[in-house]
Amino acid sequence: MVLKDYNKEDKVLLAVDCIIFGFDEEGLKILLIKRDFEPKKGCWSLIGGFQKKDENLDQAAIRILNHLTGLHDIYMDQLYAFSKVDRDPKERTISVAYYALIDIATHDSDLIRLDSAQWFSLKKVPSLIFDHNLMVKKAIARLRQSAMTKPIGFELLPEKFTMRQLQQLYESILNKKLDKRNFINKVNSLDILIKLEEKDMTVSRKGAYLYRFDKDKYYKKLLEGFSFKL
């Protein structure tokens, strides 16, 4: 069937919701805002907005995230489309969810546009509006899967980090304890880290060596058929 008159077709709103994960010394967290309009005014929500006519979905997600938080140039990936008919009680709305990864220590000072924004531990996420809890659940599952096959975990760390910080990050993502020796051996076998001469002297008297993710080596190894598996 060929459509000759678009005006006769139903119109729906297209929303973009952003699930922002952050990591600090307390573990993996998610950024939420308290909704200041109806429906569900005063309830906790993901950060979101609506796509404009002159945008594609990625552009809309970048604009919404930057407008509401001031953040830019961060890792973001499209997650899933949520289209349950009654998911929004006000209007027929389809939402495409994205998840973003940031290092809280580096970016937290940028979160100045969200007076009602608050970081929550993944273990203490409150009840969210509409189907946002389902979005978070799917995002966590995707993050865990991706973290084992891509080096996206480094997006949650500062530029320089200790091996212990890296292990704590993956323990937070996977929600389980990892054997220290096995983890270090596995990471070193990937050969994508640069060991620095600097140390973090806050962790112990001897200090802990700092590392940096070597993006150039990683992408070169990809061209050679490298497979990231942690």
Q: CB neighbours of 72 closer than 8 A, spacing ≥ 6?
A: 62, 65, 66
Q: Which CATH superfamily is domain 12-147 in?
A: Nucleoside Triphosphate Pyrophosphohydrolase (3.90.79.10)
Q: What is the crossing angle of helices 163-174 and 180-190, to 10°?
A: 110
Tokens of 61: 């997600």
Write out the residue limits of the CATH 3.90.79.10 domain(s) in the chain: 12-147
Please check whether residue 30 is in contact with residue 104, taking contact to mean a CB–CB distance below 8 angstroms. no
**Partners of residue 18 on adjacent β-strands:** 47, 98
Q: Reduce the DSSP state of residue 184 to 3 states and report it.
A: helix
Q: What is the pLDDT of residue 4?
A: 67
pTM: predicted TM-score of the whole model, two decimal places? 0.92
List the one residue out of 28, 40, 63, 59 whose CA is nearest residue 136: 28
Alpha carbon separation from 36 to 39, 40, 64 (Å, rounded): 9, 8, 16
Q: What is the pLDDT of residue 112?
A: 64
Q: Could you give the CA distance from residue 115 to residue 165 in angstroms, rounded to a whole number? A: 29
Tokens of 79: 């997650």
Backbone φ, ψ for residue 165 (5° rounding): -60, -40
Alpha carbon separation from 159 to 49, 166, 211 (Å, rounded): 31, 12, 8
Q: What is the pLDDT of residue 217?
A: 94
**pLDDT tens digits for the chain (230 residues)?**
565 677 888 889 999 999 999 999 889 999 999 998 899 999 999 999 999 999 999 999 999 999 888 888 899 999 999 999 999 999 999 999 999 999 998 887 777 677 788 999 999 999 999 999 999 999 999 999 999 999 999 999 999 999 999 999 999 999 999 999 999 999 999 999 999 999 998 888 888 999 999 999 999 999 999 888 88
Q: Could you give the CA distance from residue 147 to residue 210 in angstroms, rounded to a whole number? A: 21
Q: Which CATH architecture has domain 151-223?
A: Orthogonal Bundle (1.10)
Tokens of 121: 């531990």
List the one residue out of 127, 68, 124, 126 whose CA is nearest residue 100: 68
